[in-house]
Amino acid sequence: MTFWTDPINWVLQILENLLASWGLNHVLSIFIINFLTVVIYCTMILVFVFFLIWLERKLIARMQDRLGPNRVGPWGILQSIPDAIKIFTKEYITPVGVDKVIYNLAPIIVVASVLVVWAIIPVAPRWFAADLNVGVLYIIAVGELGILMVMMAGWSSNNKFALLGAFRTSAQLVSYEIPMALAMLVPVFMARSMSLNTIITNQSVWNIVLAPVAFIIYFLCSLAEVGRAPFDLLEAESEIVAGYHIEYSGLKFGMFFVGDFLHAFTISVLGAVLFLGGWRGPGAEQYPLLGFVYMTVKIILVYMLMMVVRGTLPRLRIDQMMDFTWKVMTPLMMGLLVGMIIIDSLIVGLSPWLRTGAFLAFNVIGAVITLWALGKHTMPKPQEFPLEDLNAS
């Protein structure tokens, strides 16, 4: 075992030997090492948010033909540090009549609910914190903790705008969770396992090739889950001021933003793991650092897509949005699942190429039929707009 073939376990081995040389009990030393690993891991992820905030500000600025942060450090890359120092010295304003316990708990759990997802994300071969055999189920369970905390923040603030934001959350996030859970079922079904490591190693053909529709639905739902444009109704500035976090100030407010950026990033990491093959690539199995590079490229791909969508699309109306999840995505995903199950049980023993082709063809047909039906039923008919009346007035 050398650094190049197994970097994490190599470091852990050194630490373990060090602790053993100090005469510590073996169980105790493993306990200490695990604890330290988790502390360092979580801190690194939180520090990484500084970079994410800069990246998002810079990219959105370029898309909107602005400069973005460009003063502190090269290309403004250190901009988040003065911002953090500023927000650390801001006063906490606790409005009258808030529910103190829930009000203070919400910003903490919003960040924590994203951090605990990182416990099971495999970053490279043999490079993960824990490999749970119920991985995907764990992600869904923990993800819903974040939704709950957004609702609690809105409810406990004793403010009608915050309450409205919380109500919208309860309708929006919760509805988009269903097609998302159905879409995440596809990789589980392909790998016959809920462990993220097995899902990656079984993707000799990436799941995005086998089920592109499932990936698109996962991507759209994840946009709604993190409350990004065009699904940012729960914090629509022009309608309900800021939504659920209107009464928060100082670092408590900052924590909501840290949670938001981290959630967006984590969701794109999961997209890369579940649908783009994670760390898979030539030579990744021998050299985990190479796998790390592949993984980073894939994550950036999904994350950039998220940025482009955010930077270009306007906000949707809430009834359109609810219709989209309940009347389009959920039935489509159910039909897709049934079709894929039938195809999978019919083509046992066929060559992998034919199998891939069958899945791909079915997905494309499903997408075409959906788009055709959507165009037929939702496009306004020409006679609905009497142009003569408009011209007369």
Partner 1 sequence: MAEPWLLVAFFFLIAPLLPAAGIFVAGLLAPKKPNPIKESTYECGIEVPDESWVQFKGHYYIFVLVYLVFDVEVVFLYPWAVAYSALPIYAVVEGILFIGILAAALIYIWKKGALVWR
**Binding to partner 1 by residue 17, rule CB under 8 A?**
no
DSSP state of 124: B
**Binding to partner 1 by residue 96, rule CB under 8 A?**
yes
Q: How far apart are CA 27 and CA 16, in angstroms?
A: 10
Residue among 14, 25, 28, 35 that touches partner 1 (CB under 8 A)? 35
**Considering beta carbons, is residue 77 or 137 the nearer one to partner 1?**
137
Residues 245-284 that bind partner 1 (CB under 8 A): 246-247, 250-252, 255, 258
**Binding to partner 1 by residue 42, rule CB under 8 A?**
yes
Question: What are the residues whose beta carbons fall under 8 Å from the beta carbon of 228, sequence distance 6 or more?
Answer: 264, 306, 309, 310
**Binding to partner 1 by residue 10, rule CB under 8 A?**
no
Name the β-bridge partners of 124.
Answer: 127
Smallest separation, CB 184 to partner 1 (Å): 9
Beta-carbon-side half-sphere exposure of residue 191 (alpha carbons within 13 Å): 27
Q: How far apart are CA 231 and CA 233, in angstroms?
A: 6
Residue pair 14/1 in contact (Cβ under 8 Å)? The answer is no
**Binding to partner 1 by residue 140, rule CB under 8 A?**
yes
Q: How far apart are CA 180 and CA 234, in angstroms?
A: 18
**Considering beta carbons, is residue 155 or 362 the nearer one to partner 1?**
155
**Considering beta carbons, is residue 150 or 307 the nearer one to partner 1?**
150
Residue with the two structure tokens 């808030």: 98
Residues 192-221 that bind partner 1 (CB under 8 A): 192-194
Residue among 6, 50, 58, 120 that touches partner 1 (CB under 8 A)? 120
Residue type, 352: P
**Binding to partner 1 by residue 129, rule CB under 8 A?**
yes
Q: How far apart are CA 122 and CA 111, in angstroms?
A: 20
Q: Which of 220, 221, 215, 225 is nearest to 366 (CA)?
A: 215
The CA angle 303-307-308, to the nearest 5 degrees, is 120
**Binding to partner 1 by residue 21, rule CB under 8 A?**
no
Q: How far apart are CA 80 and CA 78, in angstroms?
A: 6
**Binding to partner 1 by residue 163, rule CB under 8 A?**
yes
The interface region with partner 1, picked from 213-221, 227-235, 239-247, 358-366 by CB under 8 A, is 239-247
Residues 321-350 that bind partner 1 (CB under 8 A): 322-323, 326-327, 330-331, 334, 337-338, 341-342, 345
**Considering beta carbons, is residue 12 or 300 the nearer one to partner 1?**
12
Per-residue string for binding with partner 1, 286-325, x by CB under 8 A?
--------------------------------xx--xx--
Beta-carbon-side half-sphere exposure of residue 255 (alpha carbons within 13 Å): 23
Q: Which of 82, 19, 18, 24 is nearest to 53 (CA)?
A: 82
**Considering beta carbons, is residue 120 or 272 the nearer one to partner 1?**
120
**Binding to partner 1 by residue 391, rule CB under 8 A?**
no
**Binding to partner 1 by residue 81, rule CB under 8 A?**
no
Please give the backbone phi and psi of residue 124, each rounded to the nearest 5 degrees, phi first.
-155, 170
**Binding to partner 1 by residue 112, rule CB under 8 A?**
yes
Smallest separation, CB 182 to partner 1 (Å): 6
Residue type, 184: M
